[in-house]
Amino acid sequence: MSEREIRVLIADDERLMRAGVRMIVETAEDIVVAAEAGSGPEAVEVCVRQRIDVALLDIRMPGGDGLAAAAEIARLAPDTRVVMLTTFGEERYVAQAMRAGATGFVLKDTGPTELIRAVRLAAAGESVLGPRITRDLIERHLLGPARARDAGPRVARLTDAEREVLKLVGEGLSNAEIAQRLHIGVGTAKAHLSRVLTKMDCANRVQAAIVAHEAGLLD
């Protein structure tokens, strides 16, 4: 097995769903499904026992759901990136998962190309914010007057270039996409984002995206 392969765990209580996801992601030469799990606790056990680069977790599973599993994986296997599999109507659960340390989320009806892209982005340490539901998710379940008031001063700490990067993070763009949009190098985009996270005291891109929406940068 090549060291460059991305090792993926698929956790869903529906065997047919797991088979479908496996079939899609394994069409990519750089991705291998290292394990499957049918429950939250089983997913946590797998991530603790072996190296898993990306865990694709269904939000709702018996015996301890994906939300609890995401928090446990973040605590016990911090090198594993967690991406939640969700459907429309479950955004409130995704918000909780993001706060628990999940890297992001994708819709269960996401096309093969986007699912593979999501796995690769997560493995690279980038957030996976599906553009179709990111704005709705944040506005409906995360925003509030108090949070918006707090976001303004945090964004004010940024330079103009950093603020532009933050805006694009809020739109769900990857580092490479940000670099292309702003006509800068990927390394420069990463450096800007690193400073953004530090200045705003954000643990990851997902939290930064939330602040971007709270501050009204995407209005």
Q: Looking at the predicted structure, is the pLDDT value of residue 71 above 50?
A: yes
pLDDT of res. 138: 58
> What are the structure tokens assigned to 167, written together?
């805006």
169 neighbors 214 (Cβ within 8 angstroms): no
Give pLDDT tens digits for 146-171. 455 678 899 999 999 999 999 998 88
Give pLDDT tens digits for 172-194. 788 888 999 999 999 999 999 99
Per 3-state DSSP, the chain is made up of helix, strand and coil in percentages (nearest 5) of: 55, 15, 30
- Computed over its alpha carbons, how large is the radius of gyration of the chain? 17
Beta strands 81-86 and 31-37 are: unpaired
Residues 6+ apart with CB under 8 A from 49: none
pTM for this structure? 0.70
Q: Looking at the predicted structure, is the pLDDT value of residue 140 above 60?
A: no
| Full 3-state SS string of 140-171 | HHCCCHHHHHHHHHHHHCCCHHHHHHHHHHHC
